[in-house]
């Protein structure tokens, strides 16, 4: 069965707290308060208490040793235990049915909607087996419907709130990893993605290209036409760079000011073609300052670097060479013993 465990830490704490709290409650209601103590009943309750206390301690102190599938199975075990105890004690009271709240809240909070629906069906069936047996058909039916509807509505509300929180968290995470002006990735997001991409390139043997891009004479644009036009130039360049980052794991990021980077899973020819394509896209842009000029430095794994730090250094060196060559140019990095090759913009 496919399922999604949300917030594993929260799930383990929820299980631990429930089992540690339930153990003394079951001992009190099953062993201390009843007037009669049949041997079979005492054994069953004792085993249940030991299981709950031991499982709760394990979930609290050693959650890493618990198989991941346990967090899926635990609400089903909980429903079975509650239904079994209620049936054995012939207890159809409201207090005994409240125990069903935990597996319902747990699944609605931490598991998928399918698992939550399955738990609701089992809870409904478990309560029906007790309610009809103890209260008779008429009263049992009314009691069964009330409990089923109440728990279903509870699950719907909790699941709705959980989904809303998930969406809000996604928005916040997206904002935290994006440049607010251009919408491309920010430095933090790029640094994380660069490390993963370099590891992928080294492991797979496939090439990885890093293009470092500066807007030529950006300060002059701001000083002459104002920051509004400068911001618009940044947005236009970011949009143009996006057109060449087509693959799923390609990335465009703004590192700050007028400096951008483009990470592409491509070779030398693909990286040079990408630089030319960006210039072609920007040539159609109509801004008061004209078409923003770009200086671009290109470096690749494994041609020029083996680590993320070396790749950035090689690309920065190539960018410097492009600027020294007259700006508006593309420079390809060479191994450290060689000088970057500079070409004019095509």
Q: Distance between alpha carbon 206 and the CA centroid of its chain, in Å?
A: 27
Assessment of whether the complete model's pTM goes beyond 0.75: no
Domain end call among 176, 205, 239: 176
172 and 279 belong to one structural domain: no
Kindly state whether residue 127 falls inside one of the protein's structural domains: yes
Quick one: CA dihedral 22, 23, 28, 30, positive or negative? positive
Kindly state whether residue 3 falls inside one of the protein's structural domains: no
Q: How far apart are CA 311 and CA 218, in angstroms?
A: 25
159 and 283 belong to one structural domain: no
Residues 53-82 as b/e (b if ≥16 CB within 10 A, e otherwise) read bebbebbeeebeeeeeebbbebbeebbebb
329 and 274 belong to one structural domain: yes
286 and 234 belong to one structural domain: yes
212 and 291 belong to one structural domain: yes
**Which are the contacts of 290, defined by CB distance < 8 A and separation ≥ 6?**
none
Cα end-to-end distance, the chain, whole Å: 55
What CATH number did the domain enclosing 316 receive? 3.30.70.270
Kindly state whether residue 56 falls inside one of the protein's structural domains: yes
> Would you state the pLDDT for residue 1?
43
Task: Name the residue among 261, 258, 262 with its Cα closest to residue 234.
Answer: 258
Instruction: Enter the tokens of residue 249.
Output: 């794991």
**Roughly what angle, to the nearest 10 degrees, separates helices 70-89 and 39-61?**
160
> Would you state the pLDDT for residue 346?
46
337 and 203 belong to one structural domain: yes
Kindly state whether residue 235 falls inside one of the protein's structural domains: yes
220 and 264 belong to one structural domain: yes
Domain containing residue 145: 8-176
> Would you state the pLDDT for residue 152?
93
Kindly state whether residue 99 falls inside one of the protein's structural domains: yes
Q: With a cut of 50, which residues of the chain have pLDDT below it?
A: 1, 346
Domain end call among 151, 176, 201: 176
Kindly state whether residue 2 falls inside one of the protein's structural domains: no
241 and 215 belong to one structural domain: yes
Task: Name the residue among 330, 297, 303 with its Cα closest to residue 316.
Answer: 297
159 and 191 belong to one structural domain: no
Phi, psi dihedral angles at 339 (to 5 degrees): -100, 145
Domain end call among 128, 152, 176: 176
Give per-residue pLDDT as tens, 23-55: 888 888 778 877 777 888 788 888 888 988 888
Kindly state whether residue 182 falls inside one of the protein's structural domains: no
> Would you state the pLDDT for residue 313?
95
Cα 14–20–21 angle (5° rounding)? 90
> How many domains is the chain built from?
2
Kindly state whether residue 46 falls inside one of the protein's structural domains: yes
Please name the helix (run of DSSP H) or strand (run of DSSP E) that holds residue 298, with its range, or none.
Answer: strand 294-301
100 and 233 belong to one structural domain: no
DSSP conformation letters of 152-214: HHHHHHHHHHHHHHHHHHHHHHHHHTB-TTT-SB-HHHHHHHHHHHHHHHHHH---EEEEEEE
Q: Where are the beta strands (DSSP E) in 246-293?
A: 251-256, 259-264
Provide the edge-to-edge strand list for the sheet that holds 251-256: 251-256, 259-264, 208-215, 294-301, 329-332, 341-344
DSSP state of 30: I
166 and 221 belong to one structural domain: no
Q: 3-class SS at 267?
A: coil
156 and 134 belong to one structural domain: yes
């Amino acid at each position: 069965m496919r399922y999604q465990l949300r917030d594993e830490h929260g799930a383990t704490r929820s299980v631990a707290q429930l089992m540690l709290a339930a153990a003394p409650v079951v001992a009190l209601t099953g062993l201390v308060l009843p007037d009669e103590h049949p041997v079979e009943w005492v054994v069953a309750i004792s085993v249940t208490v030991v299981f709950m206390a031991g499982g709760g301690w394990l979930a609290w102190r050693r959650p890493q040793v618990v198989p991941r599938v346990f967090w899926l199975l635990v609400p089903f075990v909980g429903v079975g235990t509650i239904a079994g105890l209620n049936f054995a004690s012939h207890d159809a009271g409201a207090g005994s049915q409240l125990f069903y709240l935990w597996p319902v809240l747990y699944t609605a909070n931490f598991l998928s909607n399918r698992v939550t629906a399955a738990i609701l069906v089992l809870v409904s069936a478990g309560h029906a087996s007790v309610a009809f047996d103890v209260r008779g058909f008429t009263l049992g039916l009314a009691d069964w419907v009330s409990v089923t509807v109440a728990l279903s509505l509870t699950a719907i509300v909790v699941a709705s709130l959980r989904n809303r929180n998930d969406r809000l968290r996604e928005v916040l995470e997206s904002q935290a990893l994006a440049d607010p002006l251009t919408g491309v990735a920010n430095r933090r997001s790029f640094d994380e993605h660069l490390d993963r991409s370099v590891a992928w390139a080294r492991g797979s043997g496939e090439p990885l290209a890093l293009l470092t891009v500066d807007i030529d004479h950006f300060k002059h644009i701001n000083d002459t036409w104002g920051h509004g036009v400068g911001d618009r130039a940044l947005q236009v360049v970011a949009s143009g760079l996006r057109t060449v980052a087509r693959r799923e794991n390609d990335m465009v990021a703004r590192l700050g000011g007028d400096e951008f980077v483009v990470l592409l899973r491509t070779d030398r020819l693909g990286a040079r073609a990408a630089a030319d394509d960006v210039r072609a896209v920007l040539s159609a842009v109509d801004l008061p300052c004209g078409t923003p000029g770009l200086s671009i430095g290109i470096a690749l794994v494994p041609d020029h670097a083996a680590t993320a730090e070396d790749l950035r250094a090689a690309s920065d060196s190539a960018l410097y060479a492009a600027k020294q060559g007259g700006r508006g140019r593309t420079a390809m990095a060479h191994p450290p013993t060689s000088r970057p090759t500079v070409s004019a913009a095509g």
